[in-house]
Chain A
Amino acid sequence: MSATTENDAPAKIIVRDLKKSFGANEVLKGINVEIAEGEVVCVIGPSGSGKSTFLRCLNKLEDITAGSVTVDGYDLTDPTVDLNAVRQHIGMVFQHFNLFPHMSALQNIMLAPVELKKLDKAGARAQGMDLLKRVDLAEKADARPASLSGGQKQRVAIARALAMSPGIMLFDEATSALDPEMVGEVLQVIRDLAAEGMTMVVVTHEMGFAREVADRVIFMDGGVICEQGTPEEIFSNAQQPRLQEFLAKVL
């Protein structure tokens, strides 16, 4: 809401009455939200609230049961839309990294640009090295994921997600599987991306981080958006009892 009023350009992501069921279990019960270009949205909420499912609907890793998700003007529920083309503009970072174990760090990053003919091999290699430098892992270019620490893996995964130069980045609890001492290095990379003006949707349990980088915080509970607002509104002036309860537990 605040985002759309800030600038006149159409929203980057428009979600209308999004519903998602797994069998008889309705996980998302009607989500409506718009995310503007350059906006950083953090999604918080108790486990099972549907926040990861919501995120995975934004690039249609999950089939959408009802409603619509429009990204860059493309309706993902329209069967004529080339999902692969849309997904090239949406980078995703997973909780468990999901690096390709049979490839080196650099090969992980080069795969999509080469396969999708965005770059030739040499170009992809140069870009891959640049991205690795950006996440401070240039020396690990030839290392297999198995030999990297959790924090290093997640930084490679972020570099991989950036390889197609996406306009949107989705983070699905990107620091949840990390040892505490490695959380900081990953958050720093995300923080840098936010500073560069990347449109981001970040599902996180790091309340301090959400408060620091988010333009807007969405609190989800029971498959709906329960409350949303600026970090200040959410963390210092929570309205809903469920949010107050949640914050009391995690802060």
Chain B
Amino acid sequence: MNVYRLATRRGRAALGATLTIVALFLGAGTASAAVMPAASSTQSVKGVEVPMAVAAATDVKGKTFAVATDTTFAPFEFRNGGGDLVGIDMDLLHAIAENQGFSVDIKSLGFDAALQALQSNQVQGVIAGMSITDKRKLIFDFSDPYFDSGVQMAVAKDNETVKTYADLKGKTVAVKRGTEGETFANSIKDANGFTVKALADSATIYDDVKAGNSVAVFDDYPVLAYGVSQNNGLKIVTPKEAGSSYGFAVNKAQNSDLLAAFDAGLANLKANGDYQKILDKYLSAPETAKQTSFFDLLVNSFPALMKGLGMTLLATGLSLIIALVLGVVFGFFKVGESRILRIVASIYVEIFRGTPLLVQAFFFYFGLPQLTGQPLDVLSAGVITLSLNAGAYMTEIVRGGIQSVDPGQLEASRSLGLGYVTSMRRVVVPQAIKIMTPSFINQFVITLKDTSLLAVIGFAELTYQGQQIYAANFRTGETLLIVAALYFIVIFVLTQLSNVLDRKFNK
């Protein structure tokens, strides 16, 4: 899949970062094969003729075409405050469709999934800020370029000393990992004597400059221009370095009428000035994007954050239930009389307590599907990770709880003629639960917070939603403040509730 991806074009930075880590983690050079579960299906359906291509061959008028795009790649496609998908790609495609008299059905799938959907003929075209490359031309037919990208340098708005590359001597420059900006910065760093620092996404590198850790950024011109227009606190100081061009893609030798219509429409828009208007809307005139208040940000981001919070609670709830079962089973193994079961439980605990949760998440989402050939969706992978991890800690809580009950209790019960299971159930476990409850509440809070780590595998929980929001509006600090406040409120309310229940039932 990485074959299709150009360095300049990354749908989700985090996904790219995970790829690197997974490649290291598995010691395999084939990490690209694991990216998207649907990858395996692509090959099998390639080459299947799509009836529509034939039906629409003569004319596009009145037809509806399914076009796939990315989820968030501002300013080409992103969701505005109202949750609608907007951006240069969207406005352009709608304008061209109107100009040429056809309709489009937009599928916001993510960059990789969009390309897969096209290859498997689930959609007829892709528009996703996609660079035209020789490799891609082997598989797809491209329209005329509709946008010329390229790298620019930006510095903090109030910085008057850095105006050229030479001014960077002895300074640090932030770039987005794996982008053309990084490639360009590395190519000139020795000549100009600066240090390059690669970070995960655009919002982060802008913040790095604002925080004073770096003095400048190198980023793709449209992304940078959009950031500036959204008051990201930076200003562009150098002209655009020549870079790649973006194009609309269809499958090779298919839907040529759609491609022709796109080219014709694009030419018309360029001629009548609408094309420039669309670009200006997103890329120029910073004064058009007025700084909205914190309250506006709160109101606008609230629906997405609530959705994220719902996913957070879902993953937490499912994971805790499974972890509780695991903890009870392995906890009893640990206090039981079978040496083998004790060893099994110990191995389980040591593995999941002795490795980072993040590595476990990568393993279950990327590594395991590679080993088994069985794709795992992100919720399942996330819940499996959290369950097994929390289960290891629960095991220790259960073991500790049972062992902290006076052995005389079990002896007294056994001396009455009650069996082991009955004695545990009626005498030991009720006392152990009382001892364990505070630890359980603690683990519950830890697991809830740990769900935020699943953002790196693209699980759309609260932190992930927050990242998506500041990736589009660059208001990192305020967005994270809201996210943190939501975590705090939920955890505070739930722990208070747990404590009340604890007092009520564990008198």
By the criterion CB–CB under 8 Å, are A90 and B415 in contact?
A: yes
For A84, list chain B residues within 8 Å (CB): 414, 417-419
A111 touches B426 (CB 8 A): yes
The verdict on A115 contacting chain B, using a C-beta distance below 8 Å, is yes
The listed residue with most A CB atoms (<10 A of its CB), out of B408, B413, B415, B418, is: B415
**When the two chains form their complex, are residues A98 and B417 in contact, meaning their CB atoms are under 8 A apart?**
no
- Cβ of B429 to closest chain A Cβ, rounded Å: 10
Taken residue by residue from 424 to 455, chain B's Cβ proximity to chain A (1 for < 8 Å, 0 otherwise) reads as: 00110011001000000000000000000000
- Interface contact A94-B431, CB-CB below 8 Å: no
In the bound complex, what is the Cα–Cα distance between A112 and B422 (angstroms)?
10
Tell me if A87 and B408 are in contact (CB < 8 A): no
A217 interface hit (Cβ, 8 Å): no
Whether A94 pairs with B411 at a CB distance below 8 angstroms is yes
Cβ A111 vs Cβ B418 within 8 A:
yes
Q: Are A116 and B417 in contact (CB under 8 A)?
A: yes
Shortest beta-carbon distance from A47 to chain B in Å: 18
Q: Are A96 and B408 also in contact (CB < 8 A) when A102-B431, A164-B417 are? A: yes
Contact A163/B416 with A102-B430, A102-B434 known, Cβ cut-off 8 Å: yes
Give A79-97 as 1s and 0s: 1 = Cβ < 8 Å from B's Cβ atoms: 0000011111011101010
Q: How far is the CA of A111 from the CA of B415 in the complex (A)?
A: 12
A100 interface residue, CB < 8 Å from B? Answer: yes
Write out the residue numbers on chain B whose beta carbons fall within 8 Å of the beta carbon of A125.
none
B412 is an interface residue with CB less than 8 A from chain A: yes
Judge whether B416 and A98 touch: CB under 8 Å.
Answer: no
The answer to whether A115 and B408 have CB atoms under 8 Å apart is no
Which residues of chain B are near A112, meaning CB under 8 Å?
A: 416-418
Instruction: Judge if B30 is at the interface, Cβ distance under 8 Å.
Output: no
Q: Is the CB of B409 within 8 A of A100?
A: yes
With A96-B408, A100-B409 in contact, is A164–B416 under 8 Å at CB? yes
* Total count of chain A residues near the partner, CB < 8 A: 26
Question: Within the complex, what minimum Cβ distance (angstroms) separates A164 from chain B?
Answer: 6
B415: contacting residue among A87, A96, A102, A116, CB under 8 A: A87
Interface residues of A in 87-123 (CB under 8 A from B): 87-88, 90-92, 94, 96, 98-102, 111-112, 115-116
Shortest beta-carbon distance from B90 to chain A in Å: 64
Q: Assuming A100-B427, A101-B431, is B416 touching A87 (CB within 8 A)? A: yes
Q: How far is the CB of A2 from chain B (nearest CB, A)?
A: 28
Q: Is the CB of B418 within 8 A of A115?
A: yes
The answer to whether A61 has its CB under 8 Å from any CB of chain B is: yes
A147-199 at interface with B (beta carbon < 8 Å): 157, 160-161, 163-164
Complex Cα spacing A116 to B422, Å: 10
CB distance from A242 to the nearest CB of B (A): 30
Residues of chain A lying within 8 A (CB to CB) of residue B416: 87-88, 91, 111-112, 160-161, 163-164
Docked Cα-Cα span, A85 to B419, in Å, equals 9
Question: Which A residues are CB-close (under 8 A) to B408?
Answer: 94, 96, 98
Q: Tell whether, in the assembled complex, residue A98 and residue B406 are in contact, meaning their CB atoms are under 8 Å apart.
A: yes
Distance A152 CA – B73 CA, assembled complex (angstroms): 76
CA distance A125 to B415 in the complex (A): 20
- Contact of B411 (CB < 8 Å), options: A88, A98, A163: A98
Bits for B385-429, please: 1 = Cβ < 8 Å to A, else 0: 000000000000000000000101101111111110010001100
A204 within 8 A of B: no
> How far is A100 from B415 in the complex, measured between Cα atoms in Å?
13
Kindly provide the distance from the CB of A17 to the nearest chain B CB, expressed in whole angstroms. 24
B409 touches A98 (CB 8 A): yes
- Kindly report which residue of chain B lies nearest to residue A96, judged by CB atoms: B408
How far apart are B450's CB and chain A's nearest CB, in angstroms? Answer: 32
CB-nearest residue of chain B to A88: B417
A111–B409 Cα distance when bound, in Å, is 13
A98-B406, A101-B431, A102-B434 known; A116-B411 Cβ under 8 A: no
- Chain B residues near A228 (CB-CB < 8 A): none
- Whether A85 and B417, one on each chain, are in contact in the complex, defined by CB atoms closer than 8 angstroms, is yes
Given contacts A98-B406, A111-B426, contact A92 B434 (CB under 8 A): no
Interface-central residue, A90, A92, A111, by most chain B CB under 10 Å? A111
Chain A 189-233: CB-based contact to B (< 8 A → 1; otherwise 0): 000000000000000000000000000000000000000000000
- Cβ-closest chain B residue relative to A102: B430
Report the minimal beta-carbon distance from B148 to chain A, rounded to whole angstroms.
75
Q: Which residue of B lies closest to A111 (CB)?
A: B426
Q: Is the CB of B417 within 8 A of A87?
A: yes
Chain A residues contacting B409 (CB-CB under 8 Å) are: 98, 100
- Taking CB atoms, residues of chain B closer than 8 Å to A98 are 406, 408-409, 411-412
CB distance from B338 to the nearest CB of A (A): 16
Whole-angstrom distance between the Cβ of B102 and the nearest chain A Cβ = 74
Please measure, in the bound complex, the distance between the C-alpha atom of A86 and the C-alpha atom of B426, giving whole angstroms: 20
Question: How far is the CB of A85 from the nearest CB of chain B, in Å?
Answer: 7
Most chain B Cβ neighbours within 10 Å, of A59, A86, A88, A98: A98
- Most chain A C-beta atoms within 10 Å of own C-beta, residue among B411, B422, B430: B411
Closest to B419 in A: A84
CB distance from B416 to the nearest CB of A (A): 4
CB contacts (< 8 Å) of A99 on chain B: these are 412
Q: List, in ascending order, chain B residues with CB within 8 A of A85's CB.
A: 417
Q: In the complex where A85-B417, A111-B418, A112-B417 touch, is A61 in contact with B434 (Cβ < 8 A)? A: no
- Residue on B with the closest CB to A92? B415
Q: In the complex, which of the residues A84, A91, A163, A164 has the most CB atoms of chain B within 10 Å of its own CB atom?
A: A84
- Closest residue to B407 on the A side, CB-wise? A98
Residues on B with beta carbons closer than 8 Å to the beta carbon of A101 = 431
Give the complex CA separation of A164 and B431 in angstroms: 24
Q: Nearest chain B CB to A94's CB is how many angstroms away?
A: 6
- Measured CB to CB, the nearest residue on chain A to B406 is A98
Q: Within 8 Å CB of A91, what residues of B?
A: 415-416
Interface centre among B411, B413, B414, B416 (most CB of A within 10 A): B416
Chain A residues with CB below 8 A from B406, complex form: 96, 98
How far is the CB of A167 from the nearest CB of chain B, in Å? Answer: 13
Rounded to whole Å, the gap between the CB of B132 and the closest CB of chain A is: 73
> Contacts A96-B408, A100-B427; is A61 near B414 (CB within 8 Å)?
yes
**Extra contacts besides A84-B419, A112-B417 (18): CB < 8 Å:** A84-B417, A88-B417, A91-B415, A91-B416, A98-B408, A98-B411, A98-B412, A100-B409, A100-B412, A100-B413, A101-B431, A102-B431, A111-B413, A111-B416, A112-B416, A112-B418, A116-B417, A161-B415
Shortest 8 CB-CB contacts between residues of A and residues of B: A88-B417, A98-B412, A92-B415, A112-B416, A98-B408, A87-B417, A84-B417, A102-B430
- Interface of A toward B, CB cutoff 8 Å: 59, 61, 84-88, 90-92, 94, 96, 98-102, 111-112, 115-116, 157, 160-161, 163-164
List 22 A-B residue pairs with CB atoms under 8 Å apart, sorted by A's residue number.
A59-B415, A84-B418, A87-B415, A91-B415, A91-B416, A92-B415, A94-B408, A94-B412, A96-B408, A98-B408, A98-B409, A100-B412, A100-B413, A100-B431, A102-B430, A111-B418, A112-B416, A115-B418, A115-B422, A116-B418, A161-B416, A163-B416
